[in-house]
Structure 1
C-alpha cells in the first residue's frame, strides 16, 4: 500500500525459534498481543535502516544483513516492510519496557496459540523460520 503508515519489523530467528515481543496492555495500537520487533519508518529512513534502528532501540541488538520477506497484514492503513534476521550482535533484552512487557523465543508450532498483533502474518512468520532453518 502506498501512503500508509510505514512500519519495519524483524523476524529474528535462532535455532529454529523466532523472537516476539509482547506489546504492553497500555499501548494505543495493538495492545496486549505478541508482535515482531519493529516500529515506524521515519521520513528520512529506508525500511532497512528503520529495522536496524528499531532492533537496537527495542531489544539492544545490532542486526546484520536483514533480508526482506513478504508479510501479510490485514490493516489497510499499514505499509509493512518485514525482514528476516539471522545474525546480530548482542543478546536481545527488553530495552523499551513502556512499549513491551515481555519478549520470548517461540517454536513455530506455538505461534498459532498466541494472540498476534496481525493474525494474518502467522504464515509469513512461519515461512521466515522455515527459510532461516534451511
Structure 2
C-alpha cells in the first residue's frame, strides 16, 4: 500500500466536501447530525464524502441534493478553504466551498435540524473538530 510522507496509507485519506451556504442576510446554513451517527447532535456544514472517481464539485452537488433537497450548479461553488484532521486510523481532508445560489428550499432530510447563523455565531455551536478552524476563514470571507 502506498503511503503519504506522513506515513498515512493513501487509501485512508477521506476526502469530504461541504458548503457554506450564504443567504441574502449573510447567514450560513448548518445542520445538526442525527442521533445514532458519529458525532451525533453536533452542528456541521452540509456535505459529505467524495466517492472514488468523483470530482469534489460533483460530489457536493450530489450531497446537497440528497441531504437538503436542493439543486446546485457546480459553477456556483466557490472554493473557500480546507481543513486537515486526524480521524482515527484515517485522515480527513475537508474542502469547504461557499455557495450563494441554489434551487429549492433547504430541508433537513438527513439531519435533526437546520439553522441559519451569522459566521461569528458559529463559535457558540458544538461542531466537529474539523469544522472549527473553518470559522475564522468564513468570518474573513463574509
Q: Shorter-normalised TM-score: what interval? A: 0.7 to 0.9
CA distance in 2, matches of 1:43, 1:75: 20
Query: CA offset at residue 73 of structure 1?
Result: 4.3
Q: Taking structure 1 as the reference length, what is the TM-score of the superposition?
A: 0.84
- 1:26 aligns with one of 36, 47, 64: 36
Q: Is the 8 A contact 1:16 1:107 kept in 2?
A: yes
Unaligned runs of 5+ in 2: 5-9
Q: What aligned pairs does 1:74-89 form with structure 2 within 5 A after superposition?
A: 74-75=85-86, 77-89=91-103
Q: Which residue of 2 aligns with 1:101?
A: 112
Q: Is the 8 A contact 2:68 2:108 kept in 1?
A: yes
CA distance in 2, matches of 1:26, 1:110: 26
Asked if 1:121 is matched to 2:134, the reply is yes
CA distance in 2, matches of 1:71, 1:21: 19
Higher relative contact order (CA 8 A, sep 6+): 1
Unaligned runs of 5+ in 1: none
Greater Cα radius of gyration, structure 1 or 2 = 2
Q: Taking structure 2 as the reference length, what is the TM-score of the superposition?
A: 0.80
CA distance in 2, matches of 1:125, 1:75: 22
CA distance in 2, matches of 1:127, 1:72: 16
RMSD across aligned C-alpha pairs, in angstroms?
A: 1.6
Q: Which residue of 1 aligns with 2:22?
A: 13
Moved over 4 A (4+): none
